[in-house]
Structure 1
């Protein structure tokens, strides 16, 4: 297996599925000019208040009372850090009692990580977008019961079922980061609408994410020899496309895909020429510059996780279809009030106009890098 270094170029959020409630599941603590969020630990709380007071704890939860107040009642000498599982640097001001926090996924030891399945899923989307150019009559294959689905196209490109899917031969491990690598930030919308102001903070969401500049390593490989062996025994197995023959060809395809989508995004906003998009355009230009630095096939830029936006989540390969308007209608069911707006009309950004999900993958043990 090859060792890959992953570096976060913007905050990355892969959700655990838990939505934490302020003043109960997490507490905000000020330390001078800095602000921190402490995620509470139920086992530590129980140790502090004692099993005899479990009923009082349950009652306080039902009333929506503060965890801090509960602990202070039964363990007045304790501090918040005594019953927190971790502390997160918070980059959002004005957190309200009603705020909730989307938790970043952690393993059983409290280590934040990006699952290999998330990395592999984003890679699959990129390769699907690249290879879809070779599929004929896509317009006739994407609609299933009035919904847009890529199943028929994926079957044609990768295989008819999980057992014969070519991505079985792309193996990706989990990427584990340092314990203190997560931050809290508030996501808002960059929203095209009738109002002059693009910045839309009407539906903010506080999230925990792996911060910018964090690194980890994970294992990844293209099992071409296994594929060739399997194909000799199962002739119906599809050949590996050139884009999937090696990590180098895979990285090149991913990077070209990411670069193309960023260029389309920049071109879209330049054409719209809307005041207020300048900071967003600057960030996207920086990400485009990152893709240009990865033209040696030993690294690539990938976008993954929450807030990546419609183009990156889907690969945006449907935008070239003649019936793309039908795709838009399927994506906006019963929302004709948006028909006058371009599609997609919203982007998720944080309060400083930073975007989510950009990472750099670098091959660490390639023969060419080892000889340098």
Structure 2
């Protein structure tokens, strides 16, 4: 039985992050405006080495808008705070107002991208290529009728749709596709980014704040994330376990449903992403967001120049609904069913109507999560 094995190399095209679910709190951070950096402090080292810090720790008002860790450390005589830095994040045009930061996923303290995230993005793309979105819509319809009786109805709809398309999990072709986590990287491969939510209101671009939507980017609510910066290369392993064997036996019994789904994945993903890029160009053109029209046109050009073993895909935090769904054609009926499942958090006029965008130097920069993956047969 032959297992097809590949090494993969992932190049970051736009800042990319899979968050850990934790925040790095403001009291763990020092903002060095002069050097355009944010220092993540080793609080445990401070506690271990400084009795003065332990005594003062419980007196600090961490909720105060004026709280600055560096000032508090100086007040208690700790002037050499750089000795307690765990790592630093460069800003490079990011406007930072001391706040919490969404933490990237780490193992043994080092950042990486989980294989499950990469596989999830590939899985969605390959499923879209099957053009079986009616199966998803039927499952969505069935779930919507029972949404008040079901816990996590959105997850239930996804699970039911997958069963309609691939049968039980044991029969899914994706069990043959295995993708490892990437190698870990150094902190120097990370930067700090300011992410803001673009919202379309009455056919105009607005920016989300907790009190409403505003016209100016500067007034919008910031979500700070540490993410892999452009040009970073991450490596891992991909295998298609016993693909040829399963393909040639038990076909009549449908041992592996739609096994061809995981064959020739590079071209399939490229075709799917080509359609997605076209839709994003159309979306941003409609609302005159020239910076992002330009970004996606460059991405389209990059897509056309790929080598036969390369593809582009979007992964990770704040990439939105479209890269994760198997549905390409979102119509009004589909939106109504989503409203029933998501309890009214979806608007009739446009879905999805929001995008999370990186802001640099007060201007629109890039969307998150675009990567190029190269497969190298072992």
TM tier, smaller: 0.7 to 0.9
The Cα shift of 1:219 comes to: 0.6
Q: 1:282 aligns with which of 274, 289, 294?
A: 294
CA 1:128 to 1:292, structure 2 compared with 1: closer, same or farther past 3 Å? same
Match of 1:105 in 2: 105
Output the TM-score relative to the length of structure 1.
Answer: 0.82
Matched-pair contact (CA < 8 Å) for 2:176–2:241: yes
Match of 1:86 in 2: 87
- Within 5 A, what are the aligned runs for 1:155-170? 155-161=163-169, 163-170=170-177
Match of 2:214 in 1: none
- How far apart, CA to CA, are the structure 2 residues paired with 1:230 and 1:156? 23
Match of 1:324 in 2: 334
CA 1:63 to 1:292, structure 2 compared with 1: closer, same or farther past 3 Å? closer
Match of 2:376 in 1: 364
Match of 2:201 in 1: 193
Matched-pair contact (CA < 8 Å) for 2:135–2:164: no
Matched-pair contact (CA < 8 Å) for 1:41–1:84: yes
- Within 5 A, what are the aligned runs for 1:81-230? 81-97=82-98, 99-108=99-108, 110-131=109-130, 133-134=131-132, 138-143=136-141, 144=143, 145-146=146-147, 147=153, 149-161=157-169, 163-175=170-182, 176-194=184-202, 196-200=204-208, 201=217, 202-225=220-243, 228=246
Match of 1:60 in 2: 60
- How far apart, CA to CA, are the structure 1 residues paired with 2:341 and 2:159? 17
The Cα shift of 1:198 comes to: 4.0
- Within 5 A, what are the aligned runs for 1:34-45? 34-45=35-46
- Within 5 A, what are the aligned runs for 1:231-270? 235=253, 237-245=255-263, 249-270=264-285
Q: What SS does the aligned partner of 1:294 have? A: coil
Which deviations, in whole Å up to 9, do the C-alpha atoms of 1:152-188 show, x marking residues without a partner?
2211333313x44332211111113333111111111
Match of 1:370 in 2: none
The Cα shift of 1:205 comes to: 0.9
The Cα shift of 1:240 comes to: 5.0
Match of 1:6 in 2: 10
CA 1:233 to 1:74, structure 2 compared with 1: closer, same or farther past 3 Å? farther
- How far apart, CA to CA, are the structure 2 residues paired with 1:195 and 1:136? 29
Output the TM-score relative to the length of structure 2.
Answer: 0.81
Matched-pair contact (CA < 8 Å) for 1:44–1:82: no
- Within 5 A, what are the aligned runs for 1:337-348? 338-339=347-348, 341-348=349-356
The Cα shift of 1:230 comes to: 11
CA RMSD of aligned residues (A): 3.0
Q: What SS does the aligned partner of 1:312 have? A: coil
Matched-pair contact (CA < 8 Å) for 1:252–1:295: no
Which deviations, in whole Å up to 9, do the C-alpha atoms of 1:82-127 show, x marking residues without a partner?
1121111114554334x2211111211x321111111011111111
- How far apart, CA to CA, are the structure 2 residues paired with 1:360 and 1:3? 14
Q: What SS does the aligned partner of 2:377 have? A: coil
Which deviations, in whole Å up to 9, do the C-alpha atoms of 1:282-330 show, x marking residues without a partner?
111112222222362x0100100112122112243352x6832324534
CA 1:318 to 1:63, structure 2 compared with 1: closer, same or farther past 3 Å? closer
The Cα shift of 1:255 comes to: 1.6
Matched-pair contact (CA < 8 Å) for 2:30–2:39: yes
Q: 1:19 aligns with which of 23, 48, 55?
A: 23
Q: Which moved more, 1:197-206 or 1:58-67?
A: 58-67
Aligned length: 347
Matched-pair contact (CA < 8 Å) for 2:176–2:242: yes
- How far apart, CA to CA, are the structure 2 residues paired with 1:230 and 1:70? 69
Matched-pair contact (CA < 8 Å) for 1:49–1:74: no
- How far apart, CA to CA, are the structure 2 residues paired with 1:135 and 1:12? 28
Unaligned runs of 5+ in 1: 367-372
Match of 2:31 in 1: 28
Unaligned runs of 5+ in 2: 148-152, 209-216
